[in-house]
Chains A and B, each alone.
Chain A
Amino acid sequence: MNKFPTIILFFLLHLASIFAIFPERMMVSASKGHWMPVAIIFLVELLVVRLYLKALSKFPGKTILDLCSDAAGKWGARLIVLPLLVFLFLEVVLLTYYLSVEIRTVLLPKTPTYATSAIFVALCFYGAWKGLSVMIRASMGWFILFMPFILFSMLISIGNFNVRYIFPVWDSQFSFLWRPDFYVGTVIFAGFLFLGMTPSHLRIRFGTAAALVGVIFLFALTAVYVPLLIFGQETAIHFQYPMLMASDTVDLEWVVFDWLPSFYVVSSSGLGLIKVAVLLSMLMTMLKQLYLPKAKNRWILAVVCLFLYAACQWIPNAKALDKFLYINSCLCLYSTIGFPIIVYLSTKWRRKEVRA
């Protein structure tokens, strides 16, 4: 049993958020001490992952869906999972839209969005159709192919840092807690939910997960601080793609390429692809197991992908995207914090029942 690919997938899914949506939200949410919201988010994640994995480890061989339906019955499980489904769908739509627009703006200004997002959705469909364990295996390939680009695009702009922008480092009022953007940042949590759907021999232990969260925390900090240290908070919050702008500030003599932000787009779209594909395959499994047991996997997926594609065309602009992100953050809080706690409590309750 080699769990390495699972670890890699866990890592990549978080990186996907770090390369889209997460850093700009963190910057907007706090006016000083940006490491605080990031740290808080990761502490919460640590806690939730602990509960989630604990619940799963009690019942090896069962997925979260089995656990829910055992504890709450079929209809109860459907009710519990429904917000999660909506969250996953919205998340997938938003991410796809965000990345298609990014690809169009930076790489293909003349190609219409419907073409770039078509190929995006088609690839995700293919990945999700093949299933979660295929995605887990594929994550190794992803890692080898994209990691150089990821590191490159994160670190090239280090030369332009202005260290003074790091101050002030402490926000005594915790003002970010009152900003909705802080909660939008919790989309990064969606990266651990897949652990509950994997075959049990591929599950990782909490210790490993905790170490990973630590590594990811470092990456998240870098992603937030790179634009901050280059532009300063006042400027950075006005960018739609701060990381991308940061990589545009450098001019490397020894690279044959001039337009360095394309590296950023390549890595962020690659990561986005794997995240959307994994979330889609989760969505498919949930729909199949709880709502449509008779339908064929591939048809469910095809319909979901059609909706996804249509929804992406329907979102008019980035402003609307913001609105949806706010709506989605409530669902996100439920799905990534509430849901694991429910799963944990249900297993606890069930164990008592079994003992009695």
Chain B
Amino acid sequence: MQHFDPEIVQSLESGLQERFHQRSDFLCKHVVIAGEKFKAYYFRTLVNLPKTLSILNQIGIDRKNDLKWNSIHSMEVDAPVSLNELYNHLLRGKLILLGQEGFVAVIEPEHAELSRPVMSPNSENPLQSAFDAFTEDLDTNIGLIRKKMISDQLVIETRSVGSQSIKKIALVYLKGTTLPEVIESVEKKLEENAHHELTTVRDLTQILGHPKFTLIPTYISSELPEETVQNLLNGKVVILMDQFSFAFAFPAIVSDLWSTTLDVQYPLLFQQFLRTIRGASLLLSVTLPGLYVVLNSVNPELLRIQLAITVAKSREGVPYPSLIEALLVLLLLELIVEATIRLPKNIGPTITMIGGILLGQAIVQAKLVSNLLIIILVASAISNFALTSYMNAVGVRLYKYVVLVVSSIFGIWGLEAALVWVILYFASLTTCTVPYLSWSVKGKTADE
């Protein structure tokens, strides 16, 4: 609360009117609080005015006793200095009161109900874990983490990024667990690029200076606070974006391809077993289509003669080379995957049925592709989705084609070369000072 020259207040008023005159949800209302007249400026869509007024009336505005203002914890009173600051306050959903005698106050009002409550996750299916998921509200998300992890080492820094539209983000890490270099590099990048626009996840990775083209995501996204807490304990830095119901843990390392942090909820032996399976599925999903082409057309002599004959028989009558055959069916498979992702839940099964049962059966009977190929590709697709997250799976899905093409030219040597290349590529990746091929991000055990 502050008193200004009435002339200044006049100019503030006209400034506000001018700036927001085309915004239909921007309102100016005459209100009476505790027997005094005020002009209230606010966005109708962000502020719940009747509720705010009734609270204000209950408290009563005592302009002479500022202590009373301060004692009300839900209310926040700021002294506006400039018109620009008033704009920002308004856009962030505050209420501005202009009274007689040059009285100006910015009040944290009751907000309109725009956030959904904490619910169970939509994109993940945890088995044995807490079931609450992040929502869009940043403060709620931070609160969820705080509640899950009671530690004085938990550091939460809130920042604003962007110049045209401002986005609030929170940087969360565990002091003493996360490597200081990692924190430093993330903070440095955030400061350097504080004026970049931040609306999408890709913007975030660009602000953090990650390469534009990567085969695997440089972060792990998670909807579960439980998983995020485990990520924090593993020494990762977590970034929460306002109005985004995912937490991003940086940096991702190679073991994130086959381990989820929720594995730790199971007995150790089960965990090892599950991770081994996922590791194997990684290898299978990359190599299987390539291996099919190799064994079919380039190096059929590798196979035992009985098996080679079976393979050849299954391709009897197929009119094109096995590379084209594989590419065709792979394309079909990708289409099915893409088509089912965004469909409403009640149409999804139809597509699966048409794609899987009818088309699969028909395409083989029409002798357009071989039986074996269908088996191989389905195995490859299933193993692809056995990987830990959808994002990881896409990279693997993509690289499969490289393996396929190279091995159709160079046979088993091409397959080997493609795998060697991907190892070299992984080894050369470094995000936030942590090499991608590290055992863990924590403390001293990291490589280098």
Contact = CB atoms under 8 A, between A and B. Distances in A.
Nearest to A2: B447
Interface stretch (A16-24, A134-142, A174-182, A292-300): A134-142
B428 A130 contact: yes
A123 B406 CA distance: 13
Interface in A102-154: 103, 107-108, 111, 115-116, 119-120, 123, 126-127, 130, 133-135, 137-138, 140-142, 145
A107, A133, A262, A277 pick with most chain B CB within 10 angstroms: A107
Contacts of B303: 256-258
Contacts of B423: 138, 141-142, 145
Given A2-B445, A256-B304, A138 B427 contact: yes
Contacts of A259: 299, 301-302
A255 B306 CA distance: 12
Interface residues of B, number: 33
Contacts of A258: 301-305, 308
Given A108-B410, A257-B304, A258-B303, A5 B428 contact: no
Given A135-B427, A262-B299, A119 B307 contact: no
A1 B419 CA distance: 27
Given A256-B307, A257-B303, A258-B301, A270 B420 contact: yes
B424 A133 contact: no
Contacts of A270: 416, 420
Given A258-B303, A258-B305, A126 B424 contact: yes
B441 to A, nearest CB: 13
A103 B413 contact: yes
Contacts of B444: 1
Interface string A266-284: 1001100100010000000
B446 interface: yes
Contacts, number: 94
A21 to B, nearest CB: 19
Given A1-B444, A262-B412, A137 B437 contact: yes
Contact of A141 (B301, B412, B427): B427
B91 to A, nearest CB: 47
Given A119-B410, A141-B427, A262-B302, A126 B416 contact: no
B412 A273 contact: no
Interface residues of A, number: 38
A190 B135 CA distance: 58
Interface in B409-448: 410-414, 416-417, 419-421, 423-424, 426-428, 435, 437, 439, 444-448
Contact of B439 (A2, A119, A133, A201): A2
A266 B416 contact: yes
Most chain B CB neighbours (cut-off 10 Å) among A135, A141, A270: A141
A270 B417 CA distance: 8
Nearest to A202: B448
B421 A123 contact: yes
A297 to B, nearest CB: 14
A266 B412 CA distance: 8
A134 B305 contact: no
B302 A145 contact: no
B287 to A, nearest CB: 11
A266 B437 CA distance: 23
Contacts of B421: 123, 126
Contacts of B308: 258
B420 A273 contact: yes
Contacts of B307: 256
Contacts of A134: 424, 427-428
A29 to B, nearest CB: 31
Contacts of A2: 439, 445-448
Contact of B413 (A138, A140, A269): A269
A107 B412 contact: yes
Nearest to A129: B428
Interface in B373-418: 406, 410-414, 416-417
Contacts of B412: 107, 262, 266
A181 B327 CA distance: 50
A116 B417 CA distance: 10
A145 B279 CA distance: 12
Interface in B172-210: none
Contacts of A201: 448
Residue from B298, B412, B424, B439 whose CB has the most chain A CB atoms within 10 Å: B424
Contacts of A269: 413, 416
7 contacts: A107-B413, A108-B298, A119-B410, A134-B427, A258-B302, A258-B304, A262-B299
Given A2-B448, A137-B435, 18 more contacts: A108-B410, A111-B410, A115-B410, A119-B410, A119-B417, A130-B428, A133-B448, A135-B427, A137-B447, A140-B437, A145-B419, A145-B420, A202-B448, A257-B304, A258-B308, A262-B302, A266-B413, A269-B413
A-B interface, 8 closest residue pairs, ranked by CB to CB distance from nearest: A138-B427, A141-B423, A130-B428, A137-B427, A258-B304, A137-B437, A134-B427, A134-B428
Interface of B: 298-299, 301-305, 307-308, 406, 410-414, 416-417, 419-421, 423-424, 426-428, 435, 437, 439, 444-448
